[in-house]
A and B are shown apart, each in its own frame.
Chain A
Amino acid sequence: MRDVLLTAIRGIGFGSIYAMLAVGFVVIYKSSRVISFAQPALMLAGAVLVSYLAGPIGFYGAVLVAALAIAALGLGVERATIRPMIGRPVFVIAIITLGLDIAIRVVVNAFIGSDVRNVGDPWGLSAVDVFGLPVQERYIAMVLVLVVTVGALFAFFQYSRYGLAMRAASLDQETAMVQGVSVGAMMALSWAIAGGLAAVAGAFVGAGGGIEQNTWIIALKALPAIIIGGLDSVGGAVIGGLLVGLVESFFATYQGEYLPWLGQNFSLVSPYVLLLVVLLVRPYGIFGTREVERV
């Protein structure tokens, strides 16, 4: 039972990271119907910035500055490369985001170097006793940061004027436009939010183990999370991210013992197996909107 609980806690911890990244994907998708493949690069850029700033200004200050800086980068990227493509096929825009991802990572990799970089988090692998269980502090921090960021985002969407405008624009751009909403500004805002979330996620991805050039691959686990949760649901992205984390963690702990015939490291592909199972039952994800087309 103790192992099961520790495995679940680890899954929820990493799942919180996937959830934050997944929310970023969903926010951009809702504003522009495009899946941004630049999220891994933004995550890595945020992590690198934290690794450089944590020394001089402390970890928490570094996370805040990195979130703001990557949000600004998201704004710039949207204005320079995505906005001119409005009205073009979504596939073309998705490919542009793929190119952006590669370009940003090339620059960021130069700052990472060939070794592992420590992000300067205050927890490392230390644990605290929670009801007799040695729970790693970084997992608690990951869950807390998810609660805070998603809570803030929820409040923004629910109670602020611009949050309401973003929700409206995601439902119908033309009708939002005729209310005086600048749809372009809403898209830029979505890229800024996604960038900020990616940067925070990046800082926590590196907590305990540091970052290296291949850390970006972790962000790809948010893709099954958004498909599982439903591409257009922020709540679904959170649930999807947590589910991916849990499934991955349980496979990592128990697959070797109970399903050895699946081979080594099956946990790495387990999110995609979960994705397949969910899509077979619910093709639009758990919370996704079923698209109905009049024929």
Chain B
Amino acid sequence: MSEPLFEVDETGEDVTRADTASSAAELSPAEKAATREEHLKLAEGALVRADDLVAGYVPGVNILRGCDFYLQDGELVGIIGPNGAGKSTLLKTLFGLIPVRSGEVTLRGESITGAPAHRLVSMGVGYVPQNNNVFPSLSIEENMQMGVFLRPKTFKERFDYVIDLFPLLGERRKGKAGALSGGERQMVAMGRALMMDPSVLLLDEPSAGLSPVYQDEVFIRCRRINATGVSIIMVEQNARRCLQICDRGYVLDQGRNAYTDSGRSLMNDPKVIELYLGTLAKAQ
């Protein structure tokens, strides 16, 4: 019989992997505290900030177990880590899709912990889910209309902006989104999130399931969107490409911060290479 991923003891703490797995962050408690203090200092005045987040889907099972995060205005921040590290969970928790058990999330210093999605959207936060992220039987134009559901009067102006970024969406505006390829659907999803003129965009594995050509296209678009002043938080499985384009990166492991640094530094960090980027990256 296979072991469960997580088990909880009488106190509600999950113990299965916390103490048995080889943690990426092999730091002494004092080193950990120093690292966290430094992180908290850097997080001051951040656009988005999460402190000591604990969250999970099933009662008694925590996926995030004390995670810290911040995004400064104009940054593109990548979140990488192995399967089950809590990357997508962190993104969903920031967006209020998963209940926070402890800790706090703030946007421009205002608490948004547990805020409903429609409030976050109206506050300028856009979210692009990982899979099935378009409405397949709606036309591309209708998908874009859904993007400005809360501000319908801005449709024309915003659609023109999105078409400028993704010309294909304008050319095929009357076509059904379900008839598009995976990469094209990703553009619809990203374009739709941009319709509300967000200041922060949360992208959950935007390159998942795409061909290498489309993956490159998506990363280039992300950089371009970021250059227009939209701050981006991106969760990615394609760790190398993500770290190449992001300003800063977080490496999560078992629901906690393992490493945090600039994208370039993380790419060259021997521990990150060994544990997350693999031997190919090492050879390069």
Contact = CB atoms under 8 A, between A and B. Distances in A.
Interface stretch (B59-67, B117-125, B222-230, B254-262): B117-125
B138 A161 contact: no
A165 B149 CA distance: 8
Interface stretch (B78-86, B100-108, B126-134): B126-134
A39 B241 CA distance: 54
29 contacts: A161-B149, A161-B152, A164-B138, A164-B146, A167-B138, A168-B146, A171-B135, A171-B137, A171-B138, A172-B132, A172-B135, A175-B129, A175-B132, A175-B134, A175-B135, A176-B146, A177-B118, A178-B97, A178-B117, A178-B121, A179-B121, A179-B146, A179-B147, A180-B121, A180-B122, A180-B149, A180-B196, A181-B146, A181-B149
Contact of A180 (B132, B136, B150): B150
Contacts of A178: 95, 97, 117, 121, 127, 129
Among the interface residues A164, A168, A175, A182, which one has the most CB atoms of the partner chain B within 10 A? A175
Interface of A: 161, 164-165, 167-168, 171-172, 174-182
A174 B145 CA distance: 17
Interface residues of B, number: 25
Nearest to A167: B138
A295 B95 CA distance: 30
B142 interface: yes
A187 to B, nearest CB: 15
A123 B138 CA distance: 42
B192 interface: yes
B142 A164 contact: yes
Contacts of B136: 171
Given A161-B149, A165-B146, A167-B138, A180 B133 contact: no
A178 B134 CA distance: 11
Nearest to A177: B117
A272 B195 CA distance: 48
Contacts of A164: 138, 142, 145-146
Contacts of B142: 164, 168
Most chain A C-beta atoms within 10 Å of own C-beta, residue among B121, B135, B147: B135
A172 to B, nearest CB: 6
Contacts of A172: 132, 135
Nearest to A161: B152
Contacts of B147: 179
A88 to B, nearest CB: 15
Nearest to A162: B149
B135 to A, nearest CB: 5
Contacts of A176: 135, 146
Q: Determine which residue in A171, A179, A180, A182 has the highest number of CB atoms from chain B within 10 A of its CB, and name it.
A: A179
Contacts of B133: 175
Nearest to A182: B118
Given A161-B152, A175-B129, A179-B146, A168 B117 contact: no
A165 B118 CA distance: 13
A174 B204 CA distance: 14
Nearest to B116: A182
A171 B137 CA distance: 8
Contacts of A171: 135-138
Contacts of B95: 178
Contacts of B137: 167, 171
B145 A180 contact: no
Contacts of B116: 182
Q: Which of A164, A165, A182 has the largest count of B CB atoms less than 10 A from its CB?
A: A164
Given A168-B142, A177-B97, A179-B192, 9 more contacts: A167-B137, A167-B138, A172-B135, A174-B97, A178-B95, A178-B121, A180-B196, A181-B118, A181-B149
